[in-house]
Amino acid sequence: MRRLAIFLLLITLIRSSLPAQEIFSGPPAEEIASFPFRLLTGGIITLKAKVGHYPDTLNFILDTGSGGISLDSSTVDSLKIHATLSDRTIRGIAGIRQVKFVYNQTLHLPGLRVDSLNFHVNDYTVLTSAYGEKIDGIIGYSFLSRYIVKIDYDSSMIHVLTKGSIKYPKGGFLLKTLLVNIPIMQTEIRDARDVASRFYFDTGAGMCLLLSSDFVADSSLIKPRRRWYATQAEGLGGKAPMRQGVIKQVKLGPYKFRNVPTYIFEDEFNVTSYPYLGGLIGNDLLRRFNLIINYERRDIYMTPNSHFKDVFDYSYTGLGMYLVDGEIQIVDIMPGSPAEQAGFQPGDIVLAVGNNFTKNIQAYKNLLQSPGDKLKVLVLRDQGPVVLTLKVKNILTGR
């Protein structure tokens, strides 16, 4: 008892010698707008907005992987918006280019006006062709840094709040990011061995995980017998060749995901900033959490949602299908792929997949995400319609 009394006395003396601890917080964050969004293939978020005094409703991607805000060059031309050539360049997976800017414009979202924005101008023709709908621009840091933004994948709604104090809900985890226009997270991945590295937190990437080949080589991450399949992805600057496969595990906060679909690419333009970063975490993983993005505090709060246990997409066809001049065309066929084995040819016009004659590229791509299925694909060639049988490969099982 004497020892306990002495201990309590010491604690009392220590406490009495400490200065008073005062915590100051700003006014509470308040919701100022909410509006719906849509998900495209891979989990890409699209939303509607207007720019300046132009009456056209435009289609934007919401992208934490964008360090600013941008407009498509064809949209700028069609609306006759004045753009000024700058001395700045931007990097994408397929190139580096000097950009024009549209200065001091206003973005009109439902219930919200965002002033004094400088849009850089880029060519999103490839994205428009890949998704089958016009991509007029990308909304990134220039918007996200002004507010607290909630992305609710359960209700497909975005909620915009003023900056201020906020109490995060129970049942999630707080991700403290590094932030220089694009949030960077620390995470662990596992295959042949455990590797901890930094990755971009990228809602604009329609995939789970993207790794640079330099990171893969230097980390000795991948099991030697892993099979990888030739493919490509669309991004800023065009298309880039990649390899598609699976790694054993990705850990986000306390949550572990097994057998995660992964892309590896030769990062010629150092988009992933290796060796500082290993790659990026994309939205086919991130969409499994409802997000609260609070750039002022460098916080991203993640709560598992109803998509948390969705099955990953293990499909592989090697088929590059795009909307070209109003028709869905086969543009690229990967060597040795199921598409090549099925007899597809560049220039084939897709009329139907299975019993679906909608000519909707999103619907067709969803049908092709069925590993193990054999699908009848009706294509049109110069000599007439041809029916091809495509077996969708499973990259997890190799069959």
pLDDT tens, position by position, 20-64: 333 345 799 999 999 999 999 888 999 999 999 999 999 999 999
CA distance 302 to 187: 14
Which positions ≥6 away from 100 have C-beta within 8 Å? Answer: 73, 76, 83, 84, 85, 86, 120, 121
pLDDT bracket for residue 15 (50, 70, 90): very low
pLDDT bracket for residue 193 (50, 70, 90): very high
Q: What is the homologous superfamily of the domain 315-394 according to CATH?
A: PDZ domain (2.30.42.10)
pLDDT at 95 (0 to 100)? 60
pLDDT bracket for residue 119 (50, 70, 90): very high
CATH number of 31-161: 2.40.70.10
Question: Would you say residue 256 has pLDDT above 70?
Answer: yes
Question: Would you say residue 174 has pLDDT above 70?
Answer: yes
User: Structural domain boundaries of the chain?
Assistant: 31-161, 173-287+295-304, 315-394
pLDDT at 91 (0 to 100)? 62
pLDDT at 238 (0 to 100)? 61
Q: Do domains 31-161 and 173-287+295-304 have the same CATH topology?
A: yes
Decide if domain 173-287+295-304 falls under CATH 2.40.70.10: yes
CA distance 2 to 104: 73
DSSP-assigned states of every residue in 193-204: SEEEEEEEE-TT
CA distance 287 to 46: 13
Q: What is the pTM of this model?
A: 0.89
What is the sign, positive or negative, of the torsion defined by CA atoms of 336, 339, 344, 346? negative
